Structure 1
């Protein structure tokens, strides 16, 4: 097992930090005081009005459901399915009403 010198250790920490920050930059953060991002609001609006949803819209919906506490484990492995999904959906609907629709009317 090789021992990493101080210079190598600093390089490793810098690389790990840059990797973490790069991951955060890719994922959109919601505005302060909100749960849903602008992209999620856009995609949830499209899902509610569009007859043929896209995969990206479904991914946004799943991300919002996960924020609301839903874990999409296999339904045969979840003793609380579908109640936990329905509870998360109600919370996402509430967020949509208070955050997305309210932002569009301002």
Structure 2
């Protein structure tokens, strides 16, 4: 519970920081996720067995959201991964509506 409140308190600042770093202070007007990433993320939300390509799309989206899985030791893990997952979920909800059950 303590980690959840900590994440909730830093998430807005993290999103603003990422937006500022990625765009050099200018708002980004285009989609963050490609159509293939939308399709693969939608498929991962089903109970179907995932493919390697779907996992690679998910990792590409997480990297766009600021997550870097390469460090041997990451003192911010799992908080940084969870923040990136929340951002990718937000992008999915806002950019991939045509693939969501409704």
Q: Same fold (TM over 0.5)?
A: yes
TM-score interval (norm. to shorter): 0.5 to 0.7
Query: After superposition, what is the alpha-carbon deviation per residue over 1:1-25, rounded to whole angstroms, capped at 9, x for unaligned?
Result: xxxxxxxxxxxxxxxxxxxxxxxxx
**Could you tell me which of 49, 65, 71 is aligned with 1:68?**
65
C-alpha root-mean-square deviation of aligned residues, in Å? Answer: 1.7
TM-score (norm 1): 0.63
Equivalent of 1:88 in 73, 84, 87: 84
CA separation of 1:70 and 1:54: change in aligned 2, threshold 3 A: same
Matches of 1:104 and 1:87, distance apart in 2: 23
Shift of 1:51: 3.0
Greater RCO, CA 8 A, separation 6+:
2
Extract unaligned runs of 5+ from structure 2. Answer: 1-28
Shift of 1:100: 0.5
Residue 80 of structure 1: SS of its match in structure 2? Answer: coil
Alignment size in residue pairs: 72
Q: Specify every segment of 5 or more residues in structure 1 that has no aligned partner in the other structure, as ranges.
A: 1-31
Larger radius of gyration: 1
Aligned equivalent of 2:44: 47
Alpha-carbon distance in 2 for matches of 1:85, 1:70: 6
Q: TM-score, normalised by structure 2?
A: 0.65
